[in-house]
Structure 1
Amino acid sequence: MGIKKKLGLGVASAALGLSLIGGGTYAYFSDSVETNSTFAAGTLDLNAAPTTIIDVTNIKPGDTMLRSFDLMNDGSLDIASIDLLTDYTVIDAKGDNVNDFGDHIRVNFLVNADKHDVPVFSTTLSELKSMSPDVIKGNIFTPWFHERGGNLAAGTSDKFWVQFEFVENNEDQNEFQGDSLELKWTFEAMQGEGEAK
């Protein structure tokens, strides 16, 4: 074995030895702890009772129909606002309607049972159908929530009062004889602002 091979073998052995010494002497104190966390989302659960708010027959111009129903928060989160979406279908019994029956049904929204004669907001079904949810919220639900401390708290319910009126306009309304209107209201609940927990 030549001198070059012996030197090369010696350098390789020295390098290997240094790496083993360096690796074997690396030591430190250590400790660990394990934690567990849970994130459970709350629920929004708005219900109404009864779900059929009004079911009347044989109405005529000038008739008014006062109804109430309960809006219930069956969820675990407070409801801070509600949107109302309106849709309806008119069944034209004779096929002669020129006008929309929804233009002739006024809706008077009332804050509570003590204020039947003072609606907080009045509009026709046809206008209500085309209104922005923000307009409805501001005119109908803002006063209603105001009387309840600003929200519908989880696990509570409250009455909502509404009066329907077949408007007597002192004009010929014969085209609506025998007609019916099927109304669908969808109440959509929203949570309040987030908060520090």
Structure 2
Amino acid sequence: MSIKKKLGMGIATGVLAVGLIGGGTFAYFSDTEVNAGSFAAGTLDIDVKGNDTNNAIIKVDNIKPGDTMTRDLKLNNVGSLDISKVLLTSKYTVKDAKGDNKGADFGEYIKVKLINKDSGKEVIRETTLKKLSEAGETDLLRLLSASVNSALGSGKSINLQVKFEFVDNNKDQNVFQGDSLTLDWIFDAKQTKGEER
């Protein structure tokens, strides 16, 4: 066989092979399937219920040294995620009626007792409004950890009581006559740690 014939035969064989390879790809079965996924974030939602007007922790007038006021406070986890911390930040402002409290701070004379109502009224913290405010954040769940789980589960609640006392120091406290104190308690809920899902 001549070289031209051998060369022509080789080219023809190559073209046939390419044609078979190209045509062969259309002969296989195929199947396509879509597997959809989704991500939905949970919700972190702490609801705090006081028992005074407008759900406030306390609203009281005409107090005098020696008066005590006990109020209920309920922490409700109304979100879908567990809460690992409930941080309480206390802030207050004093309106001095006479304009001269002589360096005395009304918040220093308001004693605060935080009481775990769910565990037989155990006192979990006793301080003054001034010290509580200066302390920054107070982790209520950590204070309660001896009597409750370390987390506040979704749909669960904790019942607290707060006992306030206008401390009578057995001295002249006339500088506080007519004064008022506005109290803000901020509750900041934190999620539990992430986990393998």
TM-score (norm 2): 0.78
1:64 to 63, 68, 84: 68
Greater fraction of residues in strand = 2
Distance 1:114 1:177, change over 3 A: farther
TM-score (norm 1): 0.78
Instruction: State the distance in 2 between where 1:38 and 1:149 align.
Output: 31
Instruction: State the distance in 2 between where 1:132 and 1:22 align.
Output: 79
Is the partner of 1:169 in helix, strand or coil? coil
Instruction: State the distance in 2 between where 1:71 and 1:120 align.
Output: 15
The equivalent of 1:194 in structure 2 is 194
Q: Deviations over 1:59-80 (max 9, x none)?
A: 1111111111211111111112
CA-CA distance at 1:93 after TM superposition: 1.0
Instruction: State the distance in 2 between where 1:165 and 1:21 align.
Output: 96
Q: Matched residues, percent identical?
A: 44
The equivalent of 2:112 in structure 1 is 107
Instruction: State the distance in 1 between where 2:34 and 2:43 align.
Output: 30
Instruction: State the distance in 2 between where 1:114 and 1:172 align.
Output: 38
Q: Deviations over 1:147-186 (max 9, x none)?
A: 2322221112221111111111222211100111010001
Instruction: State the distance in 2 between where 1:155 and 1:119 align.
Output: 25
Residue correspondences, number:
180
| Contact persistence 1:85–1:129 (CA under 8 A) | yes
The equivalent of 1:165 in structure 2 is 165
Instruction: State the distance in 2 between where 1:38 and 1:166 align.
Output: 55
CA-CA distance at 1:111 after TM superposition: 1.4
Q: Deviations over 1:80-101 (max 9, x none)?
A: 2110111111111111112111
Q: How does 1:75-94 map to 2 (within 5 A)?
A: 75-94=79-98
Instruction: State the distance in 1 between where 2:60 and 2:136 align.
Output: 28
